[in-house]
């Protein structure tokens, strides 16, 4: 029984890796379909999040992280998730944050703007294979800010980080 459980676990891990790497090509030789948007599968955090502060270096604004969902058939979506710090929400009503996915290999960003009235802000999901290689990073910036916070730069094909997170500092606008 123990060996069968290990075999199932190995098959499940292999299937997950194939799906993340564009598994629609397995056996059929057909490229994975692009399906930007939320397919209804659960979202998982990947890499490390990054903090955002005002330029005073003291006032905590919030945190951005990258999430992905495995939709099956080789389709994997990624999005950025930003969560406002409660104290910043209360003291800065009406401020806005832009949340987006970044890849130097794609023009698809999923950029979305949110006010402080919503605790959580999400970019529009982008299918990771829109970029080749499929390397993506979560980013967020306050309206009027030239700097941004960015989470781990993540390589989905290999499941490894390519760069660390970076704290963002924005003026109080």
Write the DSSP assignment of the chain as a string of letters: -HHHHHHHHHHHHHHHHHHHTTGGGTTT--PPPP--S--SPPPEEEEEEEEEEETTS-SEEEEEEEEEEEEETTEEEEEEEEEE-HHHHHHSTT-EEEEEEE-TT-S----EEEETTSSEEEPPPEEGGGSSS-EEEEEEEETT-S--EE--EEETTTTEEEE--B-EEE---
pLDDT of residue 144: 87
CA distance 122 to 140: 10
Tokens in use for 7? 């075999």
Model confidence pLDDT, tens digit, residues 59-94: 999 999 999 999 998 889 999 999 999 999 999 999
Closest CA to 128 of 35, 25, 50: 35
- Total of domains in the chain: 1
Write down the mean pLDDT value for the chain: 84
Q: Supply φ then ψ for residue 151, to 5 degrees.
A: -80, -175
pLDDT of residue 123: 97
CA of 83: how far to CAs of 13, 50, 75, in Å?
30, 11, 26
pLDDT at 116 over 90: yes
* pTM beyond 0.85, yes or no: no
Measure the N-to-C terminal CA separation of the chain; round to a whole number of Å. Answer: 62
Residues in the chain: 173
Model confidence pLDDT, tens digit, residues 17-56: 434 444 333 333 334 445 688 999 999 999 999 999 999 9
pLDDT of residue 35: 64
Domain that holds residue 24: 2-170
pLDDT of residue 28: 32
Q: Between β-strands 120-122 and 60-72, what pairing exists: parallel, antiparallel or unpaired?
A: unpaired
């Amino acid at each position: 029984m123990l060996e069968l459980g290990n075999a199932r676990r190995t098959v499940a891990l292999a299937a997950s890796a194939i799906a993340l790497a564009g598994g629609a090509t397995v056996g059929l030789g057909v490229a994975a379909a692009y399906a930007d948007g939320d397919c209804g599968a659960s979202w998982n955090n990947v890499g490390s999040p990054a903090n955002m502060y005002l330029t005073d270096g003291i006032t905590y604004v919030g945190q951005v992280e990258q999430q992905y969902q495995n939709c099956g058939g080789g389709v994997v979506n990624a999005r950025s998730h930003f969560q406002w710090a409660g104290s910043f929400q209360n003291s800065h009503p009406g401020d806005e944050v832009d949340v987006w996915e970044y890849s130097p290999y794609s023009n698809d960003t999923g950029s979305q703007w949110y006010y402080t009235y919503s605790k959580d802000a999400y970019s529009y999901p982008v299918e990771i294979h829109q970029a080749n290689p499929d390397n993506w990073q979560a980013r967020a910036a306050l309206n009027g800010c030239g700097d941004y916070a960015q989470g781990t730069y993540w390589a989905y094909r290999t499941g490894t980080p390519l760069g660390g997170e970076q704290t963002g500092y924005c003026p109080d606008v």
